């Protein structure tokens, strides 16, 4: 069976590993010169966003033999609003690093792949369709899915980030919701060592935001982060992405083409991370190619999770800074604090995102009617 995988990121490599375990050697095409040949980017993986799986690092190892080592367990998440700071405590997830870093997930997965990766590839999808029985689109964004009329873009985002040096606790990431500085967006700091971290802002490209100056926003946020952490952060590397599409494909599979990773719509609109869905779409597409299970059926819960996350994002965007302060302040309420910590723990089976979606949807509808 001739299988082409277009893209050697998380989903493409995961697909290749799964195919190999089932006796199929795919041909992998990567347009860059190496796996992870892009900026270093630290990410958070929060269990509450990846239900029904509880602790997904051992889950994918035990069920799919995909082995990944994160940077650290997250045992405390600091959430900053305009005037408040709250925390979620417990074993709530992991941090990891992506891109050109020796411990990146891409680098770890490459070591588990036996198939040859054709780097600096100039092959287009149309060429691969003519020469291969199956094509897996794992290109890292929704462009191909969009060009094929199989992508629903819900918003585009501007993203700017930097590698910063300082003193960090690798188990303690930070997230900021301050709409005076980041209108309807957010910022985060995720350490990938005790001396280095990723500092990032992301906000939607709505008309009012497009008129804003990105560098001005970045300077204000950088000053805010330095003040919050009580240290001067030294920037050593930076990156910028504009008009990045956030959406989901309409169909997981069209004929013999499989949409995986960000080509599927792996990125969560809520907080912008999508490692778990990228891995699952890679594994599930391989199962479909091997005739083990239906990719469409396996991917159905992933569509549902995306939609829950989109409702969550709309809910967060609808809040004012004052309302956000109220929410964050209540995280330190003893009763609420304990309930949130339990629900977010990776040993919990509570799907808080799914359970809260109807209420958030009602709020979103109310705000739309009010405006």
**Which tens digits make up the pLDDT trace of 28-79?**
999 999 998 778 899 998 877 666 667 889 999 999 999 999 999 999 999 9
For residue 51, what pLDDT is reported?
A: 60
Sequence-ordered alpha helix ranges (H) in the chain? 10-21, 56-64, 105-110, 125-131, 143-147, 207-210, 214-229, 275-289, 295-318, 321-330, 334-344, 352-370
For residue 239, what pLDDT is reported?
A: 93
For residue 336, what pLDDT is reported?
A: 62
Give the span between the Cα atoms of 194 and 165, in whole angstroms.
9
CA angle 128, 129, 134 (to 5 degrees): 95
Q: Which residues are CB-contacts of 317 (< 8 A; sequence separation ≥ 6)?
A: 184, 204
**Pick from 40, 58, 23, 35: which is nearest to 276 by CA?**
58
For residue 52, what pLDDT is reported?
A: 66
Check pLDDT > 80 for residue 157: yes
Give the span between the Cα atoms of 164 and 238, in whole angstroms.
9
Give the span between the Cα atoms of 222 and 235, in whole angstroms.
10
**Pick from 86, 12, 96: which is nearest to 46 by CA?**
96
Q: Which helix (H) or strand (E) holds 199?
A: strand 196-204
Q: Which helix (H) or strand (E) holds 184?
A: none
C-beta separation of 176 from 80 below 8 A: yes
CA angle 202, 205, 207 (to 5 degrees): 140
**26 φ, ψ to 5°?**
-80, 165
Check pLDDT > 90 for residue 360: no
Give the span between the Cα atoms of 356 and 104, in whole angstroms.
33
**Which tens digits make up the pLDDT trace of 190-234?**
999 999 999 999 999 999 999 999 999 999 999 999 999 999 999
Residues of the chain with pLDDT > 70: what percent?
Answer: 95
Give the span between the Cα atoms of 136 and 294, in whole angstroms.
15
In terms of residue numbers, what domain contains 51? 3-370
Helix-helix angle 56-64:275-289, to 10 degrees: 10
Tokens of 250: 């309409």
Residue with tokens 């992405």, as numbered in its chain: 241
DSSP for 62-102? HHH------SEEEEEEEEE-SS-EEEEEEEEEEEEEESSST
Across the range 130-139, mean pLDDT stands at 96
Confidence tier at 269 by pLDDT (50, 70, 90):
confident
Confidence tier at 138 by pLDDT (50, 70, 90):
very high
For residue 327, what pLDDT is reported?
A: 87
**Pick from 186, 169, 270: which is nearest to 229 by CA?**
169
Tokens of 168: 């960090």
CATH of the domain at 24: 3.50.50.60
**Which tens digits make up the pLDDT trace of 316-355?**
999 999 999 998 988 776 656 566 666 677 777 777 778 7
Helix or strand or coil: residue 303?
A: helix
Give the span between the Cα atoms of 2 and 24, in whole angstroms.
8
For residue 295, what pLDDT is reported?
A: 98
**Which tens digits make up the pLDDT trace of 77-93?**
999 999 999 998 888 89
Give the span between the Cα atoms of 108 and 104, in whole angstroms.
6
Distances (CA, A) of 278 to 10, 105, 141, 187, 358: 6, 11, 11, 22, 26
Confidence tier at 125 by pLDDT (50, 70, 90):
very high
Give the span between the Cα atoms of 94 and 57, in whole angstroms.
9
Across the range 13-19, mean pLDDT stands at 98
Burial of 334 (0-12, 13-18, 19+ CB in 10 A): exposed
- Count how many domains the chain has: 1
C-beta separation of 46 from 270 below 8 A: no
C-beta separation of 285 from 293 below 8 A: no
The per-residue pLDDT of the chain, averaged, comes to: 91
C-beta separation of 158 from 243 below 8 A: yes
Tokens of 118: 């054709």
């Amino acid at each position: 069976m001739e299988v082409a995988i277009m893209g050697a990121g998380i989903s493409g490599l995961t697909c290749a590993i799964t195919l190999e375990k089932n006796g199929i050697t795919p041909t992998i095409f990567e347009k860059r010169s190496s796996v992870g040949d892009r900026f270093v980017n630290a990410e958070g993986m929060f269990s509450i966003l990846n239900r029904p799986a509880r602790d997904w690092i051992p889950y994918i190892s035990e069920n799919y033999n995909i082995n990944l080592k994160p940077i650290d367990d997250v045992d405390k998440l600091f959430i900053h609003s305009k005037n408040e700071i709250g925390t979620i405590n417990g074993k709530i997830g992991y941090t990891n690093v992506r891109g050109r870093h020796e411990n990146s997930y891409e680098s770890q997965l490459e070591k588990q792949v036996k198939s040859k990766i054709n780097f600096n590839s100039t092959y287009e999808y149309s060429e691969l369709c003519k020469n291969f029985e199956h094509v897996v689109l794992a290109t890292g964004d929704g462009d191909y899915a969009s060009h094929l009329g199989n992508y629903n873009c819900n918003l585009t985002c501007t993203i700017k980030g930097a590698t910063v040096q300082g003193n960090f606790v690798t188990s303690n990431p930070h997230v900021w919701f301050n709409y005076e500085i980041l209108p309807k967006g957010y910022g985060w700091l995720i350490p990938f060592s005790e001396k280095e971290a990723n500092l990032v802002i992301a906000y939607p490209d709505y008309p009012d935001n497009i008129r804003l100056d990105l560098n001005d926003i970045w300077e204000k946020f950088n000053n805010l982060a330095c003040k919050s952490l009580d240290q001067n952060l030294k920037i050593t590397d930076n990156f910028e992405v504009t008009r990045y599409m956030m959406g989901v494909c309409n169909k997981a599979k069209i004929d013999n083409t499989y949409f995986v990773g960000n080509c599927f719509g792996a990125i969560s609109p809520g907080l912008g991370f999508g490692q778990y869905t990228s891995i699952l779409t890679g594994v599930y597409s391989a199962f479909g190619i091997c005739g083990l299970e239906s990719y469409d059926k396996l991917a159905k819960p992933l569509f549902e999770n995306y939609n829950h996350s989109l409702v969550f994002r709309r809910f967060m965007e609808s809040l004012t800074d004052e309302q956000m302060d109220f929410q964050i302040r209540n995280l330190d309420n003893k009763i609420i604090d304990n309930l949130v910590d339990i629900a977010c723990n990776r040993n919990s089976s509570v799907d808080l995102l799914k359970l809260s979606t109807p209420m958030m949807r009602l709020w979103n509808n109310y705000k739309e009617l009010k405006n």
